[in-house]
Amino acid sequence: MAGAVKGRVCVTGAGGFVGSWMVKLLLSKDYTVHGTVRDPGDEKYNHLNKLEKASDNLKLFKADLLDYNSLLAAITGCDGVFHVASPVPSSNVPNPEVELIEPTVKGTLNVLRACCEANIKRVVIVSSGAAVIMNPKWPKGQVKDETCWSDKDYCKETNNWYYFSKTEAESVAWEFAKKNGLDLIVVCPTLILGPLLQSSINASSLVLVKLLKEGHEKVENKVWTMVDVRDVAEALLVVYEKSEAEGRYICTAHMIMTQDSVETLKRIYPTYNYPKGFTEGNEGDELSSEKLQKLGWNCKAVEETLVDSVESYKQAGILK
């Protein structure tokens, strides 16, 4: 790494679930932060301005991933960039090309082009476990590590457009970085849960909220390969700050069955409208975060993530 020092950094998608925690962490470590949001006047970003040290060290920029100049304005003057923004839908989208693929892939390239133009020292991109796991050719039973890539054709054939968008964006990012000598690190988190800072619910948190609210007769007892949002922010900072960091990093903490999550929560919050029964679900993909752990990254206990999530939904009025 050319030597990113504490200083000024840009976070794209600063108002989202992960982006907000990233901004909070960076401010707490005395970074000056340029945060991009699509509509700075919207009250959904009020939480950002209330963060400790925000009044002195946070500046919000209006930027869209498809508007190169808006990104360049936010990135100029920074030492490093955390590219967090991309659409994360909670259900199938009618037009994946426009709603997902274009902002994710072209948006990533726009961010990287702006990083080159602004002489950014290190860029950290939030990719996803979605760019790792969807690989039918991976040997059955073998733990998936950073060498495993989702198969883009398979994602397309199976209409997994979010998986496709993240895989394509990450692969074009690596191509671009190599060609242009950009210091790029990629973090691939699995399902992210944990407390919300923003007032509206995001797609991954909805997975847990639904389990507490909808009272279905039966739900599939799937494996959740999950990680706490606060630990994701820590991972992004670790790979930014450690000069020896390189390549991609899987960021995951726990494999827990849906039924076990429900049992854990029921003991603490007995009255929510939990599913009444379970059907047998898939075995899930075993992923390794060993590479990230070797950089000194640690993760919270699963109960802490679940309980802090529920407490934050209560505080936001999403749950009683």
Chain residues binding ligand NAP by CB under 6 A are: 13, 15-19, 37-38, 64-66, 84-88, 103, 107, 126, 128-129, 166, 189, 191-192, 202, 204
**Min. distance of Cβ 271 from ligand NAP in angstroms?**
27
β-bridge partners, 9: 33, 80
Find tokens 């702006």 and name the residue. Answer: 114
Whole-number Å distance between alpha carbons of 90 and 86 = 13
Number of H helices, E strands in the chain: 13, 12
* Between 107 and 195, CB nearer to ligand NAP: 107
Q: How far is the CB of 270 from ligand NAP (least distance, A)?
A: 27
Q: Which residue, 64 or 303, has its beta carbon nearer to ligand NAP? A: 64
Among residues 6 and 47, whose Cβ is nearest to ligand NAP? 47
CA distance 299 to 252: 8
* H-helix or E-strand spanning residue 33: strand 32-37
Residues facing 188 on adjacent strands: 250
Measured N-to-C along each axis, helices 258-268 and 302-315 cross at an angle, to the nearest 10 degrees, of: 60
Query: Where would I find the H helices in the chain?
Result: 17-28, 46-49, 54-57, 68-75, 96, 107-117, 152-157, 161-180, 203-213, 229-241, 258-268, 290-293, 302-315
**48 vs 262, which CB is nearer to ligand NAP?**
48
Residue with the shortest CB distance to ligand NAP: 16
Nearest to 134 by CA among 120, 124, 148: 148
CB of 217 to ligand NAP, least distance (A): 26
Of 24, 144, 166, 222, which is the active-site residue?
Answer: 166
Between 17 and 270, name the residue whose CB sits nearer to ligand NAP. 17
Shortest spacing between CB 276 and ligand NAP, in angstroms:
26
Q: How far is the CB of 203 from ligand NAP (least distance, A)?
A: 6
- Rounded to the nearest 10 degrees, what angle do helices 107-117 and 68-75 cross at? 50
299: three-class secondary structure by DSSP: coil
Residue 59: active-site member: no
Cβ closest to ligand NAP, residue 92 vs residue 243:
92
Reference 2, options 181, 143, 170; nearest CA is 181
C-alpha dihedral (185, 191, 196, 201), degrees to nearest 10: 120
Task: Determine contact, residues 67/113, Cβ cutoff 8 Å.
Answer: no
Active-site residue list: 166
